[in-house]
Chain A
Amino acid sequence: MKTNKISSFLIIILCFWGCKNDNKHTLPKLGMHQTEDRIVDGKTVVDTIYHAIPNFIFTDQDNNEITSETFKNKIYVADFFFTSCPTICPKMKSQLLRVYDKFKDNDEVLILSHTIDPEHDSVEVLHDYANRLGVKSSKWHFVTADKDYIYNIAENYLVSANQDSTEPGGYIHNGAFILVDKNKNIRGQYDGTKEEEVNHLMKDMEILLNEK
């Protein structure tokens, strides 16, 4: 009997603890971590350095230069696609439109779509594509650069993008949406073809926007 009371008590405590943790929910930082020792007042302090997106430079659908500076003090969602993609891209774009619609009036949020087929997806093609989706270029950048440069930056977003003649459309890529914070750390990856994962992304964006 006594054990019963104790265990009920413990369960109640655990429940509260669980709730408390839920309130403080923070998003993880994805990618490799490094530590660096630093001497402060004669004591060694260990700093953790999180994986961050390196500086970049692209051209967007309006022929504007888009760099890391464009995303200063913003959180953003990145993805990789190509305009002639016959498989998952339209689905990804219809899901990303939901994110756009929800955050289009929030100055702290941007969207960055990289083409992985720069030979076909010229600035004009990207311009037409964005226009047809009816999105503002100041909020949603469709960007291009040299192929190797794009594939290299994809690795920094922890996704794979490659040419593959056996795939429909000629490219292999995953349908991930990547959430990046104001320090360019990656805070989440979501399957951009699934509505419920995109709901999750939008919730995580709210959490990230409230982060101090």
Chain B
Amino acid sequence: MKNNIFFVFFFLITFGFSACNNEDPVAKTFQNKCGNCHGNNGEGLKQLIPPIANSDYLQKHHENLICIIRNGMSDTIVVNGIMHHQIMPDNKDMSVIEMTNLVNYINRNWYPDRPHLTTKDVREKMDSCF
């Protein structure tokens, strides 16, 4: 009986610690590269900065996502019925691996119907951006 309690405790403590250490490093990249403006949950900032999460614009122009991240944006766009014209800076220094992880993170969280991308897919796409 005593042993059982010990194991339950042991399990809870190990589980607790592993939960703390399990923070996704890509989530950190997302927060640093995107979250400052778009919010850590991709929710956007009021009517000033459009959301990444559940955006009808991204749903429709998903094939442009990599080029938007890479080159930034200065067009006026309409996202979920709101016109946006804030300039988005480029991320030309982002590596293929970083970009792959980031785009898969965005898809996994908010566009789950999109396929998982490999670095090869992403490199080809990045090379095609002007």
Contact = CB atoms under 8 A, between A and B. Distances in A.
B46 A86 contact: no
B49 interface: yes
B128 interface: no
Interface string A61-101: 00000000000000000000000101110110110010000
A18 interface: no
A68 B102 CA distance: 47
B36 interface: yes
A42 interface: no
Contacts of B89: 86, 168-169
Interface in B31-47: 36-37, 39, 45-47
A79 to B, nearest CB: 15
Nearest to A90: B37
Which range contains the number of A residues in contact with the other chain?
A: 10 to 19
Nearest to A86: B89
B87 interface: yes
A97 B39 CA distance: 13
A129 interface: yes
A87 B36 contact: yes
A6 interface: no
Chain B interface mostly helix, strand, loop or mixed?
loop
A136 to B, nearest CB: 13
Contacts of A93: 45, 48
B90 to A, nearest CB: 9
B87 A133 contact: no
A160 to B, nearest CB: 21
B48 A133 contact: yes
B87 A90 contact: no
A88 B46 contact: no
Contacts of A87: 36
A132 interface: yes
B2 to A, nearest CB: 36
B46 A97 contact: yes
Contacts of B49: 90
A133 B36 contact: no
Given A90-B36, A90-B37, A94-B39, A134 B87 contact: no
Contact of A134 (B36, B39, B46, B86): B46
Task: Kindly list the 3 A-B residue pairs having the minimum CB-CB distance in the complex, ordered from nearest.
Answer: A86-B89, A132-B47, A90-B37
14 contacts: A84-B86, A86-B37, A86-B87, A86-B88, A87-B36, A90-B45, A90-B48, A91-B37, A93-B45, A94-B39, A132-B46, A132-B48, A133-B47, A169-B89
Interface of A: 84, 86-88, 90-91, 93-94, 97, 129, 131-134, 168-169
